[in-house]
Amino acid sequence: MNLFDVYPLYPITPVKALDCIITDDKGIEYLDLYSGHGVISIGHTQPDYVAKIKAQLDDLSFYSNAIKNPLQVELAVKLGKASGLPDYSLFLCSSGAEANENALKVASFHTNKSRVIAFDNSFHGRTSAAVAVTDNKKIVAPLNAQQAVTFLPLNQIELVKAELKKGDVCSVIIEPIQGVGGLDQGTTEFFQELEKVCNDHDVVLILDEVQSGYGRSGKFFAHQHHGINPDIVTTAKGMGNGFPIGGVLISPKFKASYGLLGTTFGGSHLACAAGIAVLDVMENQKLIENTNKVSEYFFEAIKVIPEIIKVKGRGLMLGVEFDFDVSTLRKKMIVEKHIFTGGANNKNLLRILPPLTITTDAIDTFIVALQESLAELKS
């Protein structure tokens, strides 16, 4: 049997990793400034994290959600405290797409409506409803396209108001900082108006924090830069530092009932152990503080490269934009300079999503390599 060939692959085979360094099968070390789509939050193979998962594996790795699992309660309490949302409830699942799928489902149950407002260049996942609210026709199958979705541009609140007045919208779903779309974001004024108009029309406001959450923006959740209180927050990538886990944080306005949501693997003992370890390490190592320190350094240090036309994003969720397609530059950085970065729908943008443990020295290494690569491509 062959693998179903859907991923274009770089000719690199990682075999080991520690913190922000990945080692391949030839012994070559790579600086990881992408974290596998922003998944590695507390560093590769972080010792406390590894120990927590190993200890849990020795005791019990999995049983279904038909029994009590105190680790789920512990994770929920810690997450409520860390995020500043202690009065929200937590539904655990296994991925960001699954989190968004369930968030949309809760909204539709609550309002008894089906149309969703999403935004241009959005990405919310690849499952049925999540991909329907993703602005990429190439990955939306006819089966998914049956969902009623209206895409609107960011920062045009009057267009949102006009759609909500029609009375058939169940939810608005939005990333506080767009990831795959290219690091664009709404203004504080837009987000605050969006919250108000959703409340006025009893429309559920869903903040997709799958990539922007868990400290990556410099606050625990990126929407907290705007002083808003969404009805539902979804999270995943940084939540497990590589272990598959996702969460739906649901405000007190929603009432749970048996069977409303469900999952086989979500909230397993191993997943909860990973999630608890991540929160403990984030707190103990003050990783949000480090994120802000390194981000401030990055924005200043990157100014030495005149070819850059804009640096987008917040915290350690960043995009470096040029006036040319960066695919060759990105490949050169990976293959020759041994630095992982990411791409986006905006082909002129390098995406920077390092572990939150990254140092300013590593940023210096990146900037020197980027300067060298740009010079070599010109020659």
Average the pLDDT over 335-359 and give the result: 97
Which pLDDT belongs to residue 175? 98
User: How far apart are alpha carbons 100 and 294 in whole angstroms?
Assistant: 30
Q: Which helix (H) or strand (E) holds 72?
A: helix 70-83
Structure tokens at 123: 């990405």
Which pLDDT belongs to residue 357? 98
In this structure, are strands 115-119 and 169-174 parallel, antiparallel, or unpaired? parallel
pTM score over 0.85: yes
Phi, psi of 199 (to 5 degrees): -65, -40
Which pLDDT belongs to residue 379? 85
User: How far apart are alpha carbons 126 and 246 in whole angstroms?
Assistant: 14
Average the pLDDT over 294-300 and give the result: 98
309 CB contacts (<8 Å, ≥6 apart)?
Answer: 321, 322, 323
Average the pLDDT over 251-262 and give the result: 96
Closest CA to 152 of 188, 115, 183: 115
371 CB contacts (<8 Å, ≥6 apart)?
Answer: 304, 305
Measured over the CA atoms of residue 62, residue 65, residue 69 and residue 74, the dihedral's sign is positive
- Continuous H helices in the chain: 35-38, 47-59, 70-83, 96-111, 128-132, 157-164, 188-200, 269-284, 287-301, 327-335, 360-378
* Tens digit of each residue's pLDDT (9 = 90 or more) over 209-237: 999 999 999 999 999 999 999 999 999 99
The DSSP call for residue 138 is: G
- Average pLDDT in the chain: 97
Closest CA to 125 of 21, 214, 208: 208
CA dihedral (323, 327, 333, 339) in degrees, to 10, reads 110
Q: Rounded to the nearest 5 degrees, what angle is found at the Cα of 366, between the Cα atoms of 364 and 370?
A: 120
Separation of CA 317 from chain center = 9
Tracing tokens 């191993």 back to the chain, one arrives at 270
* Tens digit of each residue's pLDDT (9 = 90 or more) over 20-68: 999 999 999 999 999 999 999 999 999 999 999 999 999 999 999 999 9
User: How far apart are alpha carbons 254 and 246 in whole angstroms?
Assistant: 19
What Rg value do the Cα atoms of the chain yield, rounded? 21
Q: Which helix (H) or strand (E) holds 247?
A: strand 246-250
Closest CA to 215 of 28, 40, 34, 335: 40
pLDDT at residue 200 is higher than 90: yes
Separation of CA 233 from chain center = 12
Q: Which helix (H) or strand (E) holds 194?
A: helix 188-200
* Tens digit of each residue's pLDDT (9 = 90 or more) over 302-338: 999 999 999 999 999 999 999 999 999 999 999 999 9
